[in-house]
Amino acid sequence: MLVQEVVDELIKNALGWTCQADRFYTSRTEYILRKRFRPLTDLNDAFRLLESIRPTSYMIVQPPGGRPKVSISTGPMQGSLATAPTVPEAIVRACMAVRSIEVPSSLQTVSMADIYASARE
């Protein structure tokens, strides 16, 4: 499974958008171009995903020189992540955990943002 497919699954699940090759349809007539919605690299877009899953609480911690950790609580469901290269990617991975979207083992130890960026070039 490609990074784009995993992130698209989260976008469909969390935001209810329809994913197409070059855009995300937010409604029947409105859309956002893929290049303008980058939750793996843009903190604002990552927070948009986080807010869409309606957490009861969340915590973001980044120790000096360490990797960020994101913990999300949504009542009975929880998702947490101890390792990710960036805060936006950590948020996306934690949202995936909350929504029970499995990240393939081939993507668990690499930067999904780097793979996604290189695939778009």
Any idea where the domains of the chain sit in the sequence?
3-120
Q: What is the pTM of this model?
A: 0.84
What's the whole-number average pLDDT of the chain? 84
Give the integer Cα–Cα distance in Å for 97 and 6: 12
Question: What does the pLDDT read at residue 24?
Answer: 95
pLDDT digits (tens, 9 = 90+) for 43-56: 999 999 999 999 98
Q: Is 115 exposed, middle or buried (0-12, 13-18, 19+ CB in 10 A)?
A: middle
pLDDT average, residue stretch 87-102: 88
Residue 99: band (very low, low, confident or very high) from pLDDT cuts 50, 70, 90: confident
Cα separation of 45 and 41, whole Å? 8
Q: What is the pLDDT of residue 77?
A: 64
| Lowest-confidence region among 22-26, 31-35, 96-100, 115-119 | 115-119
20-24, 58-62, 74-78, 100-104: least confident range: 74-78
Domain 3-120, what fold?
Bacillus phage protein (3.30.2120)
**31-90, pLDDT tens digit by residue?**
999 999 999 899 999 999 999 999 988 999 988 988 898 988 887 766 666 568 889 988
Other C-beta atoms closer than 10 Å to the C-beta of 56 total 10
